[in-house]
Amino acid sequence: MTDTTAQQPIIGSVLRASTVGFVCGTRSQDIVHPSFGAFVRTRHGQMGEIDVIGLIHAISIDDDPLVRQLVLANNMTPAAARDQRENRMVPVEISVVNIGFIQYDYIYHNLPPRPPLSLDPVQLCDDETIMAFTERLDFLRLVLNTNDVPTEELLAAALLHASNARPEAQRYAFLVHAGRRLAGLLAHDPPRLQHLLRLINPN
């Protein structure tokens, strides 16, 4: 696998982390690219050979005293809103759940041995990395067993991201394969399975 860390845009830096996931911070004007279910990677600052792979499961935009004043004043102009969004450093937090890691070009579909460190840069995964990571779908079980995230919606969004990373001719077959894997994992929970299959149905 080629090293793409220098090619992909940095979307933020790690604020806090655990083995299960991490939160990165960015500015409001820098959240054009990240989206729910997107694959991200961060290179461990003290273990350069490990890239932690995760899925974005939440994006939150914090307020500040000025935002509250503008809202309560009830007379905010478009120019004031644009200035607030473009010129002020409104804090944004992107929450990520870890789904694996890459070490010496080998892909592991389990939690990383150590979390990333504060201020480690976070980048979107490129299509090549997404395709390689989702060639096997062992991370599905890890996400299904994760607490405090919208599991079905997150998995569906991630699978659609993974599908779109592939050539168009391969996308439908990938989703069918993913649906079969989900059917095996959720055979004991038909309602949950049906909901997930509806979410990834390309038709």
Residue 3, domain member (yes or no):
no
- pLDDT tens-digit readout, 47-68: 567 899 999 999 987 766 666 6
Asked if the structure places residue 5 within a domain, the reply is: no
> pLDDT by residue (tens digit) across 76-87?
666 666 666 565
CB 97 within 8 A of CB 55: yes
Pseudo-torsion of CA 88, 89, 90, 93, nearest 10°? Answer: 160
For residue 154, the enclosing domain spans: 10-200
Output phi, psi for 78, to 5 deg.
-55, -35
Instruction: Report the Cα 194 to chain-centroid distance in Å.
Output: 23
Write the pLDDT tens digit of every residue in 86-101.
Answer: 655 567 899 999 999 9
Predicted TM-score (pTM) of this structure? 0.85
Backbone phi, psi, residue 189, to 5°: -135, 70
Asked if pLDDT for residue 201 goes beyond 60, the answer is: yes
Q: What percent of the chain has a predicted confidence (pLDDT) above 90?
A: 60
**Consecutive H or E run containing 158:** helix 151-164
pLDDT tens digits, one per residue of 151-187:
999 999 999 999 999 999 999 999 999 999 999 999 9
Q: Distance between CA atoms of 186 and 92, rounded to whole angstroms?
A: 35
Q: Is residue 173 part of a domain?
A: yes
> Could you tell me the two tokens for 163?
């599908």
Residue 79 resides in a domain: yes
For the chain, the domain total comes to 1
Does residue 4 fall inside a structural domain?
no
* Mean pLDDT of the 24-48 span: 76
Kindly state the greatest CA–CA separation across the chain.
56
Residues contacting 157, CB < 8 A, separation 6+: 35, 36, 37, 38
Per the domain annotation, does 108 fall within a domain?
Answer: yes
- The reply to whether 1 falls in a domain is no
Each residue of 28-67: b (16+ CB within 10 Å) or e?
A: eeebeebebbbbbbbbbeebeebbbbbbbbeeeeeeeeeb
All residues at 6 or more sequence positions from 85 whose CB lies less than 8 Å from its CB, including other chains: 28, 29
Is residue 113, in this structure, part of any structural domain at all? yes
Question: What's the rounded Cα separation, in Å, for the pair 32 and 59?
Answer: 12
